[in-house]
Structure 1
Amino acid sequence: MAKLDRLLALVHALSDSSDGLTLDEMAERLAVNRRTAERMRDIIASHFDLDEIVDDRRKRFLIRDSLRRAYTRPTPAEVAALQAEVDGQRAAGKAVRAGQLASLLAKVKGALDDREKRRIDPDLDALARLQRTLVTAGPVAVVAPETVMAIQSAILAGCCIEFQYATEDRPEPRWRRVIPYGLVHGPLTYLLGKMPGSGSQPVYFRLDRMTEPKLSDTLGCAPDDWDIDGWLAESFGVWRDERQDVTLRVPASSATRARGWRFHRLQQLEELDDGGLRIRFASGGMRELAEHLFTWAGEIVIEGPDVLIAIMRDRIAAATTMLPA
């Protein structure tokens, strides 16, 4: 470990020095030759901002920032990724989510000093100009910023959230009071809420259908052992119904594509003797699963359950009505 020890010692020496070190001084400190000191300097320069000072025809080197700063400074690629996510959320009409991420982006940029900004600006401009988050077809729903803020405040305060709620079947809003069990972001943003004193499971509430949200005087928070990831894994999508044991068979011709695809976060893959695959998982949401499997038409056989097969037949029959007579 002697080489690593010397390299780390040089990093600290360059950081602790106020005037910098020449290559000869580096070599002397580490008891190595000048060529070795040059190689070590080049390695350090690839990971730290190594300043170069010309002093009486000699070059001196130092790391100006603290070592902690060197490891917390964002890279151009990281800032550009955040910028692309902000632009993608805005393009998808998710103003609240975009606003929160834009605020974070502004704070990240604001924490950079002038020298750091000059260093990353050229790369950031190039990366940000040619990176986008794809906005696909889907629902467009406007969520009021105060709705998200009220739910997040209720989560932090450990109290219920109250609001008026409307649905497609019942456009007249009705008052609701629920314990916030989480926020779920996707094409639409949902509140997971459970009625106080109820033994039922949490249910979804679309944020764009909520009005007049406010914190309740009634205390209520999700239990410490609440596992939101486990709860989400019980269903294929948003719709929740009885969990079914799903079995899908993929022929050898489509196995490569299927191996790189996630049908469910808890799926299990079984390699078949003919080169195909069998995919198993337990989930609710059979209609959403059936509609997703349309994209695999000709490449997958649904072996079970019967309810999924029946729903798929119904969806195929409904799809034929989209075609001209």
Structure 2
Amino acid sequence: MGHRRYLVARDPAKDDLIRNYRMDLIQSAEVLDQSFAQAEGFSMAEYAAQSFGIWQDPDQFGEVVWKFSPEAATRAAEFRFHPTQRLEPQPDGSLTVRFEAAGWLEMTWHLYQWGDKVEVLAPEGLRAMVHDHRRSDFSSMP
């Protein structure tokens, strides 16, 4: 998941929450004479799709709507921003992209590359995070 490698696991001694552990920060490991069974109904693909990148925050999870300008629409249509994305070409040549996920900080890192060629329509919290950082001086798009 993402550009770093993560171990996705849960510690049943603590609770049933699934957690992401950065592999590069694990200092040691120990082989135990124990085994485990994956939780019934767990899907790594569904788990991963709850976030834009890695970050899983239930308070941020919800519909995300981005509108790419007409000059960015063709390029944006080539991207797979999220596995559940829906692309909606608009009559003015712009492109609306919709999906459900969390991870606003990771989204802002990605959206910054698009400069002022993308507008966040929803959620409002993400819109507020990127609004003052939309730039018109980028000579190319991702």
Task: Tell me whether the two structures share a fold, i.e. TM-score over 0.5.
Answer: yes
Specify which structure has the bigger relative contact order, considering alpha-carbon pairs within 8 angstroms and separated by 6 or more residues.
2
**Deviation digits for residues 238-292 of structure 1, max 9, x if unmatched?**
1111312111112222211111112111100112111221110010001100111
Instruction: Find 1:273's aligned residue among 82, 85, 91.
Output: 91
State how 1:1-325 maps to structure 2 within 5 Å. 184=1, 186-242=2-58, 243-313=61-131, 316=133
**Structure ranking higher in helix proportion:** 1
| Count of residues in correspondence between the two structures | 132
- The one-letter amino acid paired with 2:19 is V
Cα distance, 1:312 vs structure 2: 1.9
For 1:287 and 1:207, locate their aligned partners in 2 and report how far apart those are by CA, in whole Å: 21
Q: Is the Cα contact below 8 Å between 1:193 and 1:202 reproduced in 2?
A: yes
Whether contact under 8 Å (1:247, 1:304) holds in the other structure is yes
Structure 2: how far apart are the matches of 1:251 and 1:313? 15
Identity %: 29
Partner-residue secondary structure (3-state), 2:47: helix
Deviation (angstroms), 1:200 = 3.4
Structure 1, unmatched stretches of 5+, are 1-183, 317-325
CA RMSD in angstroms comes to 2.1
| CA distance in structure 1 between the partners assigned to 2:113 and 2:51 by the alignment | 19
Q: Distance in 2 between matches of 1:273 and 1:208?
A: 47
* Distance across 1 between alignment mates of 2:28 and 2:92: 59
Report the AA paired with residue 111 of structure 2: L
Distance 1:277 1:201 in 2: 36
Deviation at 1:209, TM superposition (A): 1.7
Matched residue of 2:99: which SS? strand
Question: What is the TM-score when the length of structure 1 is the normalising length?
Answer: 0.38
Which structure has the greater CA radius of gyration?
1
- Runs of 4+, deviation exceeding 3 Å: 197-200
Which runs of 5 or more residues in structure 2 are unaligned? 134-142
How many Å apart are 1:313 and its aligned residue? 4.3
Could you tell me whether the CA contact under 8 Å between 1:196 and 1:220 is conserved in 2? no
Q: Distance in 1 between matches of 2:89 and 2:50?
A: 24
Which whole-Å CA distance do the structure 1 matches of 2:25 and 2:131 have between them? 32
Shift of 1:224: 4.5
1:254 match: secondary structure: helix
